[in-house]
Amino acid sequence: MDHGRQARFAACAPPACPVVTPKTLAVDPPRAAAGEARADSTPGSDAVIAQSLSPGETLVIAGQQAPLPPAHRTAIGPKDAGEPLVSEIVVSFSFGSAVLTAAARASIDAAAKGDGIGRIDIRGRTDNVGSAAANDLLARQRAAAVAQYLRARHPHLAGAEVKVDGRGVCCYATENDTPEGRARNRRVEIAFWRVSSDL
């Protein structure tokens, strides 16, 4: 086959024809020392994630981020008497990604400021595209990415109780019938609770 005006066209015969690709997980690439190969078996590593994919799913390591809905605060009341809510934010993720964007990190940094935070609830969520197993794994990875970022970036929260939850086929913020709706569902909800002075 050539290019331009000399190009010839051919019909594609299965199984060589292009097909719709399944949802894949995007993760940070492994970091190994120069010239050193790495076979990582820790939870969340590329090797472990690749083994958990369904037949036909492929692990893709992506660095390109699609436009995301802006992070926003939600208005909810205290869930537990004696533990007033300091703030709750929602950060969005790209399709198939558990990588925090710069905007997500900035929103987390702004919400995590201050003293007296005694509990942090982190809830990872996905859209409805892909298998339940892949979405559950991705939801847990998103929640874990936020928890890891908070531990690394905000040492003043080291004494806070952190509850991490990740569910893929659950708890949608809106319908999944439009690209915008699916983008809103690809999120992590983070609630910061003040320490009760009565305990």
Q: What does the pLDDT read at residue 109?
A: 95
> How far is the C-alpha of 26 from the C-alpha of 68, rounded, in Å?
15
User: Residue 40: what pLDDT?
Assistant: 46
Measured CA to CA, the distance from residue 105 to residue 107 in angstroms comes to 5
Tens digits of pLDDT across the chain (199 residues): 566 677 676 666 666 666 666 665 555 544 444 444 444 445 554 555 555 555 544 444 443 334 555 555 544 444 444 558 888 999 999 999 999 999 999 999 999 988 889 999 999 999 999 999 999 999 999 999 999 999 999 999 999 999 999 999 889 999 999 999 999 999 999 999 987 654 4
Place of tokens 């702004």: 110
Beta strands in 21-137 (DSSP E): 72-73, 85-92, 117-124
Domains in the chain, CATH or no CATH each: 72-194 (3.30.1330.60)
Beta carbons of 168 and 136 less than 8 angstroms apart? yes
What are the angstrom distances between the C-alpha of 92 and each of 28, 110, 184?
17, 16, 7
The reported pLDDT for the residue numbered 85 is 82
Asked if residues 86 and 192 have their Cβ atoms less than 8 Å apart, the reply is yes
Are 150 and 112 in contact by the 8 Å Cβ rule? The answer is yes
